[in-house]
């Protein structure tokens, strides 16, 4: 096995088949009609899922894999319907689907990419936080996955944003030895499903609250409130805080990561 673009390839057969099964099950359960794979992982998963959908697209930018896939396709090992040889950050996925008369609302997106590109991809697809793609399965660094799942005890900034729109399920821890070469960290597989019940908290208020309070993760809300009061003198934020945020006394000893949606509802 070999690595490039900072990627460690998934070599464990049991894990590969586990992931493929989860993709197939979610695709069927959600009545999807489009499957998109970002970064084909040296085709470790691709060859297990390429028959799931009649509308299966692969997005890949690496020329080495381009040559490898062309060889495989010529020999009918992979019968892909569409390969897009571009950097996913430069691809207008919605435009491509629209041209083919397909809907993003019926699309499942999967990926296993170098972790340094995770944030840019999340920003690309969730930039306006108006989710256009309802279902996702992807690999993350385990430490991140533990903090974004819906039942996380310690919640990250990203966890609040993702869980506003999605039910985030931590599916499986993937050990370093499942990859070749083995990375220095554990990984995990995560599933996102669009929430059937919309969050009652106003999105704008949530963002403004998080922008103010998330920078003080180790402090209690009461302590943060005092810090912010001093910093916001004669600023436009002071009016927003006074109008929007009221920390009940029974929550002032809690940290942001300890709050529940019910707690946030009392604040916002």
CA nearest to 26, candidates 81, 100, 106 = 106
DSSP letters, 13-46, are HHHHHHHHHHHHHHHHHTT--EEEEES-GGGTTH
60 occurs within a structural domain: yes
3 occurs within a structural domain: no
88 occurs within a structural domain: yes
228, 247: one domain: yes
119, 156: one domain: yes
254, 152: one domain: no
Give strand pairing partners of 166: 194
Q: What is the band of 230 on the pLDDT scale with cuts at 50, 70, 90? A: confident
209, 181: one domain: no
List, for residues 175-224, the tens digit of each pLDDT value: 999 988 888 889 999 999 999 888 889 888 898 888 888 888 789 999 99
For position 120, what pLDDT does the model report? Answer: 85
133, 175: one domain: yes
For position 47, what pLDDT does the model report? Answer: 87
146, 221: one domain: no
66 compared with 219, residue with greater pLDDT: 219
107 occurs within a structural domain: yes
Q: What is the band of 227 on the pLDDT scale with cuts at 50, 70, 90? A: confident
**Residue span of the structural domain in which 144 resides:** 9-194
129, 235: one domain: no
For position 69, what pLDDT does the model report? Answer: 73
158, 261: one domain: no
The residues, ordered by sequence, that sit 6+ positions from 258 with a Cβ below 8 Å of its Cβ are 153, 154, 155
Q: Model-level pTM? A: 0.85
Q: What is the band of 17 on the pLDDT scale with cuts at 50, 70, 90? A: very high
Is residue 3 pLDDT above 60, yes or no? no
4 occurs within a structural domain: no
Q: Quote the number of domains for the chain.
A: 2
207, 190: one domain: no
What percent of the chain is modeled with pLDDT above 70?
90
Of the residues 144, 161, 194, the one at which a domain ends: 194
Is residue 2 pLDDT above 60, yes or no? no
DSSP structural state of residue 214: G
207, 188: one domain: no
CA nearest to 212, candidates 230, 195, 234 = 230
Domain at 13, CATH number: 3.40.50.150
45, 159: one domain: yes
The residues, ordered by sequence, that sit 6+ positions from 66 with a Cβ below 8 Å of its Cβ are 60, 85
Instruction: Give me the helices (H) in the chain, please.
Output: 13-29, 46-49, 63-74, 93-99, 118-126, 142-148, 157-165, 203-213, 221-231, 236-244, 261-267
Local structure of 207: helix, strand or coil: helix
163 occurs within a structural domain: yes
For position 4, what pLDDT does the model report? Answer: 41
């Amino acid at each position: 096995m070999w690595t490039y673009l900072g990627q460690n390839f998934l070599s464990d057969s049991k894990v590969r088949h586990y992931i493929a099964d989860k993709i197939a099950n979610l695709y069927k359960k959600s009545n999807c009609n489009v499957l998109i794979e970002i970064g084909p992982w040296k085709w470790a998963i691709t060859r297990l899922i390429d028959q799931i959908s009649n509308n299966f697209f692969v997005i890949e930018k690496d020329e080495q894999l381009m040559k490898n896939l062309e060889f495989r396709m010529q020999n009918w090992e992979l019968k892909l319907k569409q390969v897009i040889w571009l950097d996913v950050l430069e691809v207008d996925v919605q435009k491509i689907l629209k041209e083919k008369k397909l809907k993003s609302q019926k699309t499942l997106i999967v990926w296993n990419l170098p972790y340094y590109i995770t944030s840019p991809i999340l920003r690309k697809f969730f930039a306006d936080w108006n989710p256009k793609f309802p279902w996702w399965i992807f690999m993350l660094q385990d430490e991140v996955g533990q903090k974004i799942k819906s039942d996380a005890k310690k919640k990250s900034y990203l966890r609040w944003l993702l869980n506003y729109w999605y039910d985030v399920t931590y599916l499986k821890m993937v050990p370093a030895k499942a990859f070749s070469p083995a990375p220095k960290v554990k990984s995990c597989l995560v599933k996102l499903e669009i929430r059937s019940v919309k969050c009652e908290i106003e999105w704008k208020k949530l963002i403004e609250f998080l922008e103010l309070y998330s920078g003080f993760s180790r402090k209690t809300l009461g302590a943060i409130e005092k810090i912010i009061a001093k910093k916001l003198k004669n600023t436009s934020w002071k009016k927003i805080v006074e109008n929007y945020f009221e920390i009940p006394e029974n929550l002032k000893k809690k940290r942001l990561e300890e709050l529940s949606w019910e707690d946030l509802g009392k604040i916002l």
